[in-house]
Amino acid sequence: MDAAPAPGTVAAYRPTVVPRPWVEVTTRPGPAAGHHPTDAAVRRYWTALIGPGAVADLLRLVAAAGKGKRIREPLHLAVLAAEGLILLAPGLVLVPALIPHLDESHIARLRPALRTEYRTLLAG
């Protein structure tokens, strides 16, 4: 086995390593109602649907849009686009200011206890 490089030295990367491209992130008009990105409901319910990595990528995109910064292309971009959470353009990612409420097709994919809990959250 090869030893790890000494602290302070630059590790040599495999020649096949390709860094992910940078993308610009901006806020787009989104739903009038939804969850604030820091709301616990985003992590609880959207994570159950799309996974923790995709939710983390979504929150990084929202934060980058708020700061006007560009970031490396997230790994879960395709999942976020497929769920309608973001819009894609070449080199540009459009994110909503509010994370949309789950629609009925999303709610149906939750396990029964979470489904009931989410409907109670929206009703109350």
The pLDDT value given to residue 77: 93
The pLDDT value given to residue 108: 95
What are the C-alpha distances in Å from 27 to residues 95, 97, 123?
Answer: 5, 6, 28
Confidence tier at 1 by pLDDT (50, 70, 90): low
pLDDT in tens, 54-96: 999 999 999 999 999 999 999 999 999 999 899 998 889 999 9
Torsion angles phi and psi, residue 118, rounded to 5 = -70, -40
Domain locations in the chain as residue ranges: 22-123
Average pLDDT, the chain: 88
Strands 87-89 and 92-96: antiparallel
95 versus 18: the higher-pLDDT residue is: 95
Q: Which residue has the tokens 């993308």?
A: 23
| Distance, CA of 121 to CA of 54 (rounded, Å) | 23
| Distance, CA of 40 to CA of 71 (rounded, Å) | 24
100 versus 1: the higher-pLDDT residue is: 100
The pLDDT value given to residue 38: 86
Furthest-apart CA atoms within the chain: distance in Å: 58
Q: What angle do CA 67, 41, 105 make, to 5 degrees?
A: 105
